[in-house]
Amino acid sequence: MESYRDAYGHQIYDYLKGKKDVSEIVERDDGFFGVSTGVKNYFSEYRNWHKREREAMQYVSEKVLDVGCGAGRVSLYLQKKEFDVLGVDVSPLAIRVCKMRGLKNARVMSITKLSSKLGIFGTVMMFGNNFGLFGGRKRAKWLLERFYRMTTENARIIAESADPYKTNEPAHLQYHRLNRRRNRMAGQVRIRVRYKKYVTPWFDYLLVSKAEMRNILSGTGWRLKRTLGSSDSPAYIAIIEKR
C-alpha cells in the first residue's frame, strides 16, 4: 500500500509519536460518514479491554495468527504470555508500529494472501470487528476454506463482529434497504478511511448478525461454538471451531 493511501497507518503512527488528538473519518459510499477518536483503543492494555475481549483470551491456543493486527495490542499481549504469534496487516505503517512496540513477528499482508506458507496455526485472531475483513458472503466462504487448510485439527477462529440490525439510525436502515436492492448483504458496507491528507481505497467491510454468521460458516468446515458479549450491545465475539 502506498503511503498516501495508508490513512489508518498514519494515524496510529502519529499517536505512537505523541499526537493524542488523532481522529479519523470513515466515509460510506452513500455519503454517510462518522468521526472516530478511538485511536487510543488500538494501544490499550489488557486491563482496559472490553470484558468480552478478556474472556476470549481463554480460547487461544497453539500458534496464533493475528489478522488485521493494527498497533499490535493483541499480538503483544499474547507474545508476553509466551505464545508464538504472527501479526499481519495490510498497512505498512501499522506493521512498523508493531515492530517499534516490540512485536517480534509482523508482516505486511492482505487477508487474501494468507496461506499455509506462513505456517500452520491453532488460533486465528480477528479482533476489532475484523470479521468484517471477509468483505462479503462469497469471499468469506472462500477465505474460511483457506483458513481451514492452514490451521490445526482443533483450531479456533476468534472473531469480533457487530449485528447491523441493532440500530435505530435512519441512515443505516436506509442503507440496509439499498444493499438489498443491490443484492448485497444488509451489513456489507463499502467504506474508505480518511486521515489528514491520506485516504484509503474503497473496500467492502462485512457486519453480520449471529444467524448470518452461522449461514456463512455453513459448508466451510467451521461452526459457531459460542458468542461472548452483552445482549444490549451490537458487538460480540464469536468462538468458531472446526466441525
When pLDDT is cut at 50, 70 and 90, the band that residue 50 belongs to is very high
**Hey, what CATH topology would domain 50-187+204-242 get?**
Rossmann fold (3.40.50)
Rounded mean pLDDT, 206-218: 98
Q: 181 pLDDT band (50/70/90 cuts)?
A: very high
Work out the average pLDDT over 172-177.
98
Q: Please, which pLDDT band fits residue 228 given cuts at 50, 70 and 90?
A: very high
Tell me, what's the pLDDT at 146?
A: 97
Whole-prediction pTM: 0.96
| Sign (positive or negative) of CA dihedral 10, 4, 109, 102 | negative
pLDDT for residue 182: 97
Mean pLDDT of the region 200-209: 98
Which H or E element spans position 15?
A: helix 7-16
Q: Is pLDDT of 1 > 90?
A: no
Kindly tell me if the per-residue pLDDT of 37 is higher than 90: no
Q: What is the DSSP string of 87-133?
A: EEES-HHHHHHHHHTT-SSEEE--GGG--GGG--EEEEEETTTGGGG
The pLDDT assigned to 203 comes to 98
Write the secondary structure of 135-154 as one string of H (helix), E (strand) and C (coil).
CCHHHHHHHHHHHHHCEEEE
Percent share of the chain, pLDDT over 90: 97
pLDDT attached to residue 216: 98
**pLDDT given at position 38:** 83
Grid cell digits, residue 168? 435505530
Residue ranges of the domains in the chain? Answer: 50-187+204-242
pLDDT tier at 20, thresholds 50, 70, 90: confident
What are residue 206's DSSP bridge partners? 188
The residue-averaged pLDDT of 13-22 equals: 94
Mean pLDDT of the chain: 97
Q: Is pLDDT above 90 for 161?
A: yes
Does residue 242 register a pLDDT over 90?
A: yes
**pLDDT of 120 over the 90 cut:** yes
